[in-house]
A and B are shown apart, each in its own frame.
Chain A
């Protein structure tokens, strides 16, 4: 006598787990191709709208993508890219370093001790809500025409991000791991290195990602007003020469570089450092 309830449906039994694995892999490859196609379509649409707008707008107001592309190539070939783009990168990097050197210890104190949290909290929050433009102007007033203006602007914009994220990270530390370490007689230095630092690393990455975009904008903006070199400085030059193609070309190079940093450097670094996290492993 057969019992229909416990009979497995024939299709379910037909797929072994190995076959399931293959199917899953195929599905994920299909998914990848689909995503790539959408990415290409997105870029094509953007360039298409630009092309159409350039065609209909009065002559000289908006150059078409091809003209801008040629100008970008000229800049790269002429060597200006190296001197100016790298000058901007250097200033942003130094600003970031300053933000890290100040923001990380402040965040550590805020996350670790309630007294220090009370001391810093409002100040850091206020500093984080002040518009980036204010920092740019302030830096210019303080340093005038110099490389230090953009550095200070970047530092001022990024420090609150770093501090708040590090504080959040410290508060996320698993106390049971701290107790375990103490039970096994680990020193405070070992506990800092093996428990605290790895806990806050993901938060620091989040801070860098969030403040990176803002920091670049502020850096370029400060250079527009008071730079002696850099991408912002070049944009102002082209503007004064009324060369709109040049302005957009510099902007384009800037965007390309940002995308490269985000996609190739930050994301790869994150995947490597956070390989222990299940969701990061799934990405690899």
Chain B
């Protein structure tokens, strides 16, 4: 069953004016439950706009979009942002409880379970300021998983971390995801990262069209050092170079 349905979605900023700018152009795709989908593309291809429309922050110009929750109830969304966005005055554990429903009695045990999964079970009473950037982002990831979302939206969650920390966190994310099998929409500009993590990669091109929709059928857990992963990463990268050839403005801009 599709958790996220996007059909003929268009978004035009300043529609009807001389400076009208179409950033999403008839986009259609479905995301089935329990899959990890990455949305990849160069900056200016409409990734963030698409994300904002999915999360309801922004309206779309035309088309249709829906997120389906369990048993018809309103869909529950979880977020991981580029920066951790933790309340500095609350402990790690209280930060995670803050986004839980207060009526949910199982929230406490769930929070502890996910804290354990990101390896921070001993840091529940720490303030965010006492943790490193990577640890804070792990709390952000645990927080999002712990709300048991129907759809988990991750917006370039590793882009602000150094390469080594980011690699560790990607491995951890794969592990958590394998346990929980949440439906994830993961936005990144890093194709290599997308291949390592995803079941499927949707590539957007400038102008807001879907350039390619690639299934990644590799066994998990995947490691960057695995030649099969490396081969596929190279292949996807090569395909994206075609996109640059398609759109000379981008090629010359790069």
Given known contacts A183-B55, A186-B99, A277 and B83 CB-to-CB distance under 8 angstroms: no
Q: Does A251 belong to the interface (CB within 8 Å)?
A: no
In the complex, whether B77 has a CB less than 8 A from a CB of chain A is yes
Q: Compute how far the CA of A190 lies from the CA of B98 in the bound complex, rounded to whole angstroms.
A: 9
In the complex, how many angstroms separate the beta carbon of A274 from the nearest chain B beta carbon? Answer: 8
A194 to B85, CA, bound (A): 13
A142 within 8 A of partner (CB)? no
Q: How far does the Cβ of B70 sit from chain A's closest Cβ, in whole Å?
A: 16
Known interface pairs A276-B127, A277-B129, A278-B129; A186-B85 also in contact (CB < 8 Å): no
Tell me whether B98 and A177 are in contact (CB under 8 A): no
Query: A180, A181, A186, A277: which has the most chain B beta carbons within 10 Å?
Result: A180
Complex Cα gap A181–B99 (Å):
7
Check if A195 is an interface residue, CB within 8 A of chain B.
yes
CB distance from A76 to the nearest CB of B (A): 41
Q: Are A180 and B90 in contact (CB under 8 A)?
A: no
Docked CA distance A265–B83 (Å): 37
- A-side contacts of B130, CB under 8 Å: 278, 281
Residue of A nearest to B143 (CB): A184
Taken together as a complex, chains A and B put the C-alpha atoms of A276 and B87 apart, in Å, by 10
A181→B81 CA distance, assembly (Å): 12
Most chain A beta-carbon contacts within 10 A, residue among B89, B129, B147: B89
Task: Say whether, besides A180-B79, A198-B89, A276-B89, A186 and B98 are in contact (CB < 8 Å).
Answer: yes
A276:B147 contact, CB within 8 angstroms: no
By a CB distance below 8 angstroms, the chain A residues around B98 are 181, 184, 186, 190, 194
Indicate if A16 sits at the interface (CB-CB under 8 A).
no
Contacts of A277 in B (CB 8 A): 88, 129
Size range of the chain A interface in the assembly: 10 to 19
Residues of A within 8 A of B127 (CB): 275-276
Please name the residue on chain A nearest to B153 by beta carbon.
A183
Contact A177 B147 (CB under 8 A): no
B interface size (C-beta, 8 A): 19
Cβ of B88 and Cβ of A184 under 8 Å apart? no
Interfacial chain A residues near B147, Cβ < 8 Å: 184
From residue A100, how far is it (CB to closest CB) to chain B in Å?
A: 20
**Chain A: interface secondary structure?**
helix
Residue of B nearest to A201 (CB): B89
Q: Which residues of A contact B89 (CB under 8 A)?
A: 198, 276
Which residue of chain B has the shortest Cβ distance to A198 in the bound complex? Answer: B89
Q: Of all chain B residues, which has the CB nearest A193?
A: B98
Taking CB atoms and an 8 Å cut-off, the chain B residues in 63-83 that contact chain A are 76-79, 81, 83
In the complex, what residues of B have CB within 8 A of residue A180's CB? 79, 81, 85
Q: Which residues of B contact A183 (CB under 8 A)?
A: 55, 57, 77, 79
Pick from A184, A194, A275: contact of B79, CB below 8 A. Answer: A184
Interface-centre pick from B85, B90, B129 (highest chain A CB count, 10 A): B85
The residues of B that contact A194 with a CB separation of less than 8 Å are 87, 90, 98
Task: Mark interface residues in B72-112 (1 if CB within 8 Å of A CB, else 0).
Answer: 00001111010101011110000000110000000000000
Q: Are B77 and A276 in contact (CB under 8 A)?
A: no
Task: Tell me how far the C-beta of A175 lies from the nearest C-beta in chain B, rounded to whole angstroms.
Answer: 11
- A184 → chain B closest CB, angstroms: 4
A11 at interface, CB cutoff 8 A: no
Chain B hits for A18, CB < 8 A: none
Q: How far is the CA of A127 from the CA of B127 in the complex (A)?
A: 39
Whether A176 is near chain B, meaning CB under 8 Å from some CB there, is yes
Smallest distance from the beta carbon of A111 to chain B beta carbons, Å? 18
* CA A184 to CA B85, docked complex, whole Å: 12
A residues 181-213 touching B (CB-CB < 8 Å): 181, 183-186, 190, 194-195, 198
In chain B, what residue has the closest Cβ to A278?
B129
For residue B81, give the distance in angstroms from its CB to the closest CB of chain A.
7
A176 in contact with B81 (CB, 8 Å): yes
Q: Taking A184-B78, A185-B76, A190-B98 as given, write out 11 further A-B residue pairs in contact, using a Cβ cutoff of 8 Å, ordered by the A residue number.
A: A180-B79, A181-B99, A183-B77, A184-B98, A194-B98, A198-B87, A276-B88, A276-B89, A276-B129, A277-B129, A278-B129
5 closest Cβ contacts across the A-B interface? A184-B99, A180-B85, A198-B89, A276-B127, A276-B89
Binding site for A on B (CB under 8 A): 55, 57, 76-79, 81, 83, 85, 87-90, 98-99, 127, 129-130, 147
- For this complex, 8 residue pairs linking A to B, each with C-beta atoms less than 8 Å apart, are A180-B79, A181-B98, A181-B99, A185-B77, A194-B87, A198-B89, A276-B88, A276-B129
